[in-house]
């Protein structure tokens, strides 16, 4: 009982903070379920809930195609980052070669380089390769992540050497140890990296806006801005489009929440 009294203020503050965080999302959801006549009615709950704004957002705009584009690009980038990061982290942790520490230092240094500094060189490279307005332009520049290399390398360093020694005694090579030892044991860190990468790629706006020309190749984030410009007085349709774009990232985080928290705690905070 004493512990409950001592922790009660903390729980109340945490609950209030959580409410402040989700209040804008609840307001957006409420607006997406309102008819135009009820759009400015007081209260958080819509007086006459309706799915008409969602129907209009899906029928008047190519939202499904743009959502599919974002899904394909985000899934492709996530798989690419997981593969390249795991391979690089394993090499930097379990394979001895000249310049290994310098290479890891370079990966850490790249974390300090802002994306704006590489935006123009990446665009010029994509343009010269003839990739503009294609899935290659949207995905290939982001298939490797310094953050992923750092996170998985830190996580692999926490795995006891005994596991790898046992695999070597059984005659396993690096590919076998990577597949049967490193891959299963790094699942929490991989889950965290997958969630971070998927959400970050899904929320990209400026890069897809620059490298795509046709409406069919644009992504979901651009769709929200397009609907906002077209429906300046119909906030329920804008809110419905925003909810549809937000939903996949919310589901991705909820599905990977446990792995996300555990991976960050075990992998990112250990040296």
Taking Cα atoms as reference points, which of 141, 126, 146, 134 lies closest to residue 196?
Answer: 146
pTM beyond cutoff 0.95: no
Contact by Cβ (8 Å): 85, 193: yes
Query: Which residues neighbour 34 within 8 Å (Cβ) at sequence distance 6 or greater?
Result: 41, 46, 47, 48, 49, 50, 53, 236
53-267: CATH, from 3.40.120.10, 1.10.3720.10, 1.10.340.30, 3.40.720.10 = 1.10.3720.10
SS (H, E, C) 196-250: HHHHHHHCCCHHHHHHCCCHHHCCHHHHHHHHHHHCCCCHHHHHHHHHHHHHHHH
**pLDDT tens-digit profile, the chain (271 residues):** 567 677 788 888 888 888 888 888 889 899 889 888 888 888 888 888 889 889 988 888 888 999 999 999 999 999 999 999 999 999 999 888 888 889 888 888 988 888 888 899 999 999 999 999 999 999 999 999 999 999 899 888 888 888 888 888 888 888 888 888 888 888 888 888 888 899 899 999 999 999 998 888 999 988 888 888 876 667 888 899 999 998 888 887 777 776 666 655 554 444 4
């Amino acid at each position: 009982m004493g512990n409950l009294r001592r922790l009660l203020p903390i729980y109340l503050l945490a609950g209030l903070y959580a409410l402040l965080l989700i209040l804008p999302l609840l307001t957006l959801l409420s607006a997406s379920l309102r008819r135009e006549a009820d759009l400015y009615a007081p209260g958080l709950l819509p007086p006459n809930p309706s799915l008409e704004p969602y129907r209009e957002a899906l029928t008047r705009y190519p939202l499904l195609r743009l959502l599919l584009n974002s899904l394909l690009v985000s899934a492709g980038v996530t798989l690419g980052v997981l593969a390249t990061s795991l391979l690089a982290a394993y090499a930097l942790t379990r394979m001895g070669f000249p310049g290994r520490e310098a290479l890891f230092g370079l990966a850490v240094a790249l974390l300090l380089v802002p994306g704006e500094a590489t935006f123009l060189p990446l665009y010029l490279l994509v343009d010269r390769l003839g990739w503009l307005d294609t899935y290659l332009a949207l995905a290939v520049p982001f298939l490797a992540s310094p953050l992923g290399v750092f996170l998985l390398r830190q996580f692999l360093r926490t795995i006891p050497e005994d596991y790898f020694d046992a695999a070597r005694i059984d005659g396993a090579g690096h590919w076998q140890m990577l597949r049967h030892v490193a891959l299963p044991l790094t699942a929490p860190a991989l889950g965290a990296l997958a969630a971070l990468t998927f959400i970050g790629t899904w929320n990209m706006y400026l890069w897809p806006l620059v490298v795509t020309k046709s409406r069919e190749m644009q992504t979901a984030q651009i769709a929200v801005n397009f609907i906002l410009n077209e429906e300046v007085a119909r906030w329920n349709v804008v809110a419905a489009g925003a909810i549809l774009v937000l939903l996949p990232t919310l589901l991705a985080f909820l599905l990977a929440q446990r792995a996300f928290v555990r991976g960050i705690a075990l992998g990112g905070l250990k040296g």
